[in-house]
Structure 1
Amino acid sequence: MAVEIERKFLVHKDRLVLPEKGKKLIQAYIWSDPEKSLRIRISGEQAFLTIKAGVDILERAEFEYEIPLSDARELLALCDAKIEKTRYFIPFGDHTWEVDVFHDLNNGLIVAEVELNSANDKLVLPDWIAEEVSKDPKYLNVSLIKNPFVEW
């Protein structure tokens, strides 16, 4: 079993300089509840099926499998709502930050995530990092589908 240990932050938009290239992501959920989810994601020309489980938002079991792009497109068509975002990778210190710039109903939201090797990893924050929202479930992608940022 793979375990994802991740922290999530809002950013100071005026301090953040995004790289020139990002990766467009489209994702949706086949099912979800507070303790588990099944996600379909298209990332460029690749597609993935991901299962996440656990009650601790900071540390959850994660199983991810590459699937055919055509299957992912068909599965996305079955979903009621999708999230679209552009992901940028920014190395800083010992980690690479994933900065998601959301589109459509979540336009205006920018979230930075960093994956850790352990919950005790020392983390040096870039100056563009603002408030930590790791434990706030409304910033989970699965929550943003049900309650988009433009409705807050």
Structure 2
Amino acid sequence: MGVEIERKFLVVGEGWRDQVEDETRLVQGYLTEDARTTVRVRIHGETARLTLKGASRGISRLEFEYPIPVEDAETLLRELAVSPLVEKTRYRVPHAGHVWELDVFAGANAGLVLAELELTTVDEAFERPDWLGAEVSDDPRYFNVNLAWHPYRDWP
């Protein structure tokens, strides 16, 4: 059984950019509208994945992810996605023994930059980089599925 433990933060400033180790363009959409289960299709560079996630329990939730052919992912996004697509560029930024994933959103979510850190336990310690802003792990507005339906540009 897969469990995702993830903390999410706003990003302040551009200080992270000179530490980027890798970047990839992502496009994703959702195949369900169920609040208990999320089924996501993501094209990540030259690969694609189908991901099933359970409801969040604090900063953790069940997660199962499977590789699928990119052509299948494109068809699923075009024909079966129930949400608008979420577009972003993901930057991998190492810091103090962890690798942060910074998402710079495009399209309807342009202007939003989030940092995510996957942990092995809910109480795992980590060092906060200077560019890390407020934590939004528990704010559902920042969940990608909600950004699909209620994009950042439409927030008051």
Return 7-16 or 132-141, whichever deviates more: 7-16
Is the Cα contact below 8 Å between 1:32 and 1:142 reproduced in 2?
no
Is the Cα contact below 8 Å between 2:108 and 2:153 reproduced in 1?
yes
Identify unmatched segments of 5+ residues in structure 2. Answer: none
The one-letter code matched in structure 2 to 1:12 is V
1:87 matched to which residue of 2?
A: 90
Partner Cα distance (1:148, 1:91) in 2: 28
Deviations 1:89-136 (A, max 9, x none): 001112100000000000000000000000110111100000000000
1:9 matched to which residue of 2?
A: 9
The one-letter code matched in structure 1 to 2:154 is E
Change (3 A) 1:138 1:114: same
Alignment of 1:1-152 (within 5 A): 1-17=1-17, 19=20, 21-78=22-79, 79=81, 80-152=83-155
Identity of aligned residues (%): 45
What's the RMSD between the two structures over aligned residues? 1.4
Aligned length: 152
Identify unmatched segments of 5+ residues in structure 1. Answer: none
Q: TM-score, normalised by structure 1?
A: 0.95
Partner Cα distance (1:56, 1:81) in 2: 25
The list of structure 1 runs, each at least 4 consecutive aligned residues, that deviate by more than 3 angstroms after superposition, is none
